[in-house]
Every structure is written in C-alpha cells, then in structure tokens.
Structure 1
C-alpha cells in the first residue's frame, strides 16, 4: 500500500484543480472571443509532526517549507464562437508546481534543484445549444466534483499528512482530499450536461476507465453522473448535489466492481455559509483519496465534511472538520484520517487574497500500525486574473 501511495503522489499530480478566477478578454468580435485566466499562490508553512509506530515508539519532527497550497499555479486559455443557435467553446489549462526546491537530498546531483512539474489537466471542447451541452476531451470527473468545488479551503492549504508524504511532497497540500472527499481526477471523457429545469441540472459522462493493474481488462467505460439543484431566496441561496460512479474490471478471470455515491448541500444567508457533504465507495479512491486508484470492492471508504464560514466585507472566517474511514471487509486492515482547521481569508484587492490557516491532521492506519498527529500553520497569498 505504501508503494501505491508514493506512486499516486508522485505520478498522478495530486491537486484539486479548480479556481474561481476572473478572466481577461484578449479578443471579442461578432461572437468570436479569446480569453485567458490564471492563478499564482505561495505559502510559508510550518508543520509539527508526531508519529507512533507498531512498537509504540514515538518520534517527532518540525518542518518549514515555502510552497504552493491546495491549488497549483495555473494558466488557462479559452476560445468561443457563436454559430447561429450553436456555441462552440474550447479550453486548455496548464498547471505548474513550484514545490521543487529540495525534495530529495538522497538523489544524484543531476536530480536536485528545479524541475517544475507542468501538467495539462484540461483540454476539451464543448458544443452548446438549447438541448444542452456536450463536452469532449480531458476534464475533471463528475464524481465528488461538487464536494471539492464547495470546499471552503479551496484557495487555502488544508491537510498535509506526513503519512501521505505531503509535508515535503513535490505537489500540492491536500485541502480535504482523503479527509472528506476523493479527488475527481482529470479523465478523457464524453459528457452531456442538460439545460437547467426548475433549478435542476444533470450531467452524465463516459470516462476512460481506471485500470486495477496493467493486465486488467475493462469491457466498458467508467460511468459518472452528477445531479445539481440551485435556488435563491431573499439574501441567500441553496444548492444540493448528488453524484455517482461505476466501473468494472477483470483481473485473472475475476470480476471486480467499483462504485461510489457522493452528496452534499450548501446554504448561504446573511454572510454565513454552511456546507455538509459526504461520500461512500467500494474499491475506489481508497489510497490517499485518489479516485483513479481502484481495487477490489471489499475495500470500502466513507467520508464526510462539515464546514461553516462567515464573510464580512473583505474578510472570510472558516471552520472545517472532515474525516475519511477505509475498511477492508476481508481483514482487519483499516485506516482513519481526519482534519480540523481554522482559516482566515482577506481580499486585499480584487484578485489578491491573503490567507492565514491552521490545520490539525490525524492518521491511524492499522496495516502499518502508524499513528500521526500533525499541526500545520500556514500563511500565504493568492493572485488571480
């Protein structure tokens, strides 16, 4: 399992890759437009970690880093063309890690120093008309997409469990991935989104399936779906969502089924926002909360996230608690990860946000008999355009 975790962390570009940013219109004429948007962030973080091994021996260490937060730095380009009653759009976005200063002192000299990760997470086109929208290309999945988009720590730092290698990792901090939701990994897909009807909107997608192993067989694509509901009332709004995922794999003649359901609700009024979300899966997302890592359905995962925030002018205050439990129903190999956090966001100017955050992360993993207590304080800034 530890090898899988390291592989997922190093090769899968772990990040929640969503940001609500303004965009710059580069060109617009006769229904034809081209725009760009971007995000840059950096945080100073200080982590104090205590771990306990199978023999009950405790160790502790403190670590300071200057690194990016939950969202990677990115730049995106958008094209659209209105053709009579049909609109064609394209988006490409590129995500860059700045966490490359000194992550592996045991490496050869040639591997030290800068080596910024550049990752393409969105490269798709959409066709829109009265009947809805069809997306073709690479984009984030639908399952648990709304859970992560509605995380109040989206522009912040979140959990940095040392068990997952996040304190010194070359990618991002984790927000509440593995402590409340799974990460809707970018996937090649064909997805249909319906028009809104009485506040409801549905999306269904055929995704490139995630393989259990190099020699596994997937006869059908991965299916994902999302149902959204939005409404407004005097000085407030309400939204709710439900998502699902299903795929099957065959390994050495044995069929393995993976499935999951995600859900949540958010209400805003008088500057207050309350969010509750959760999910449950079988054989999916059981390693570090990465939903592209699949396995047998005897591995069951459940997560929940509760958050409250208050916004006063340019100030936003956040309280958060999330937990994920992993259980193998064929053995006693279980794990529990949870995160409790406080955060303060100050919009200094439109497009410039200062962040101060504290997170307490705990991990208890029975297969390696590891216990972890991690206290992380981070302060940083986020610039968007």
Structure 2
C-alpha cells in the first residue's frame, strides 16, 4: 500500500501504530524494499425490503428482495481489497526515488472451479523529488480528487454498501452514499513540500476517467452510442490539505476538485464536468469526528460520469457523510456514520434515474492483535428514484482484516 493508504489505515483503528503498517523491510544494495499489504474476508447477509427493483435498475444501491429469496448471502473482500504491494526507495543524485507496484486478489468467486477472478492491478508508479522542493509522481495510483473522502471512511476496514452479491471484487463502503469514487488513474502529479502541515497536489489524469471509451450507460437509462470516442483534453485534479496537532486535538482539513472535458457523441458534442469537495477530520482522546461534502456538475454519482447527463444536459449532484467514532476501554472502536449522494434531474421529464442513495452504518472494529482486526458492521441502504420509487436493504457483516 502507498503511504497515504497506510496512514489512513493506521488512523482507522486507533490501537494500530504506524509501525504496524510499515510492511516487511528488506535492504537490497542501494535500495530498501517494503513488502506490505492486507488480507481480509467477510461473511455478509443482506435482506431486501419489498420487491421494487426500479431504484436498483437506474443507479440505486439498495438491494430488493428476489422472487423466491428474501435474503442474499456471500463471502467477500470488503471495501479495501486484499493487497500485495512492493515499494522500493533509494536516494540518488540528491533525489529521493521510489517505485510502487501492487496487485489486489479477492476471496469471492461464484464459479465451481474458483479461478474466474483475476487480480486487480491498482498501482504502478514512480516518484522522485526532495523535501526542499516537493515530488513528482508518474503512473497509476488513487485519484487526487475525493481520495481523502475514502481514506477517512471508517468502512475502509469493513464493508459498507454493496455487500449483497458474492463475486464482486470489493464492496462499496461509502462510495455512492457519501462520496464519488476516487478510482485508480494514470496520472502525472506534483506535490509540494510540507509547509508546517500544509501541502498541495495538482496533476493531469487520463482524459477518459468515468467515461471509458464509450458513453454507454453514462447518459441516462440507455446509451446514446457505443462507438469509441476521442477525448481531447487531460483531466485536471488537485487538492490542498492542512494537518494540525495540539494538546487537545489533532486532525486534517482538506479541499479537492476535478475538471474533465466530456465528449459524449460521435459528432464531437461535449461539455465540461466539474466537482469540488471539502472535508474535516478531528480526533481528541478516544473520540473521532469526520465531516465531508461534495458538489458537482456533469460528474454523476457513485463513480465519475455515471448518469452524468441527458443528451449533453448536465445533471447536478452533491452529497457527503458525517461520522463519529469512539474507542471503548476494550480498545474496540465503535463507529456510527450517515452518508447520502444526491442526483438532480437534467430536465422536467427526466424522472427515471436515481435521486438519492442513503446509508447508515454502525460498526465495531476490534484489534485482536496489532496486525489483526475483527470487524462487525450493520448497514441500512435506501435508494429513491425521481418517480418516487424506493428500494431499501439491510445487511450484516462479520469478518477480519490483517495487515502486514
């Protein structure tokens, strides 16, 4: 895992120290190798409420009950996939140089032979720089916009939404019920030095993030075309943060944003999609508080570009989450979170798409050892369409996550 993810994981369970996530360090000549990662698995039981499937068909995340079954069960990885990462660092010619390559297998497979799922490959990047002037990153890593939203989500150690179906690579956590997925993107980015807690990053990303090479399934209930389209501008993403620490409290304040030029038809019609967010995490003693909000035009919901427009008319979207955690005397972290993601209509007749996905999460995260955590979660998900149709589901998850 990269540094940001390791720090977020260390903060997610107060009993874990940063050294617990330092990985396996191996000196190798001029290089220092860090082999790190996690393995996690959860048993999930989800119950759909009612038989309405309208919400799920157009972007809803609630799971309706099936014709013959009122329950869905599965064993799956959680929001954070199982991970195996390799990072090498060295100092050459007054530069700190590093590379990271990782892969993410999962534990869920619905095929009889159990071999259908290939590992994800979410990281392959190089960095170089110096603390005096900053650093440059080239390659594939977590997106800049909304990355802090997911890294501060307590369900990073658990499941969150999307626990119903066995066979998925990961669950959703708070993606689509509080924030847009940061995703894993090809990028070239510059990060400033740390100025007494303040730091900023700006970068260009693959221009087709959220759009793929096609507008299929991104323009409403049906695609306008399945023809591959050229994207003629890089995506632009950036963020700034301020980390603080004192006798009473410590935490982090951040803002981030993104802009994409979206070509959505073979005639070359396009629009500009923009989004921005703000978040705050504060910890005082055993108490932790996190608040987050985002607002965008033409970026859709859940993942960048999903249900973002109708024939080029952009849909506005916003949302956020509030989260409170408390570490009990047993060192068990108790967490309660509420999140919502909202999507407006593009016009008065545009009623057949999702209006809102909401989530309530109650979680218990217990450090059995400094590396191994037991996790229990309850999630209540509700999805509403602009027509008034509604879907609702509740899920319970029990499992463990181990870091090395």
Shorter-chain TM band: 0.7 to 0.9
1:101 to 72, 92, 110: 110
More strand by share: 1
Distance 2:241 2:357 in 1: 28
2:231 to 212, 218, 230: 218
Return 149-158 or 309-318, whichever deviates more: 309-318
Q: Given the alignment of the two structures, is residue 53 of structure 1 paired with residue 82 of structure 2, yes or no?
A: no
- Deviation of 1:65 (Å): 1.4
Distance 1:320 1:308 in 2: 6
- Deviation of 1:198 (Å): 3.2
Q: Map 1:266-305 onto structure 2 (within 5 A).
A: 266-286=281-301, 289-291=302-304, 293=306, 295=309, 296=312, 298-305=314-321
Distance 1:297 1:97 in 2: 38
| Residue pair 1:45, 1:378 contacting (<8 A) in 2 also | yes
| Residue pair 2:76, 2:167 contacting (<8 A) in 1 also | no
- Deviation of 1:218 (Å): 2.2
1:236 to 233, 245, 249: 249
2:259 to 229, 240, 246: 246
| Residue pair 1:260, 1:282 contacting (<8 A) in 2 also | yes
For structure 2, the 5+ residue unaligned runs are 11-20, 56-63, 216-226
Q: How many residues align?
A: 353
Q: Name 1:360's counterpart in structure 2.
A: 380
| Residue pair 1:217, 1:249 contacting (<8 A) in 2 also | no
Distance 2:41 2:204 in 1: 36
Distance 1:373 1:184 in 2: 25
2:393 to 354, 371, 374: 374
SS in 2 for 1:349: coil
Pair 1:215–1:114, CA change in 2 (3 A): closer
Pair 1:220–1:46, CA change in 2 (3 A): same
C-alpha distance after superposition, 1:55-89 (max 9, x if no partner): 99x85611221211111111000101111421100
Q: Given the alignment of the two structures, is residue 325 of structure 1 paired with residue 334 of structure 2, yes or no?
A: no
C-alpha distance after superposition, 1:249-272 (max 9, x if no partner): 333232211110011001100110
Q: Name 1:157's counterpart in structure 2.
A: 159
Q: Given the alignment of the two structures, is residue 258 of structure 1 paired with residue 276 of structure 2, yes or no?
A: no
| Residue pair 1:185, 1:292 contacting (<8 A) in 2 also | no
C-alpha distance after superposition, 1:263-322 (max 9, x if no partner): 100110011000000111222142xx1126465452121111000001246311100100
Tell me which stretches of 4 or more aligned residues in structure 1 moved more than 6 Å. Answer: none
- Deviation of 1:53 (Å): 3.0
TM-score, L = length of structure 1: 0.85
For structure 1, the 5+ residue unaligned runs are 1-15, 103-108
Distance 2:99 2:358 in 1: 38
**TM-align CA RMSD:** 2.4
Q: Given the alignment of the two structures, is residue 65 of structure 1 paired with residue 74 of structure 2, yes or no?
A: yes
Q: Name 2:91's counterpart in structure 1.
A: 82
Distance 2:195 2:272 in 1: 33
Q: Given the alignment of the two structures, is residue 22 of structure 1 paired with residue 41 of structure 2, yes or no?
A: no
Return 225-234 or 80-89, whichever deviates more: 80-89
Distance 1:54 1:68 in 2: 25
Distance 1:152 1:100 in 2: 26
Pair 1:267–1:332, CA change in 2 (3 A): same
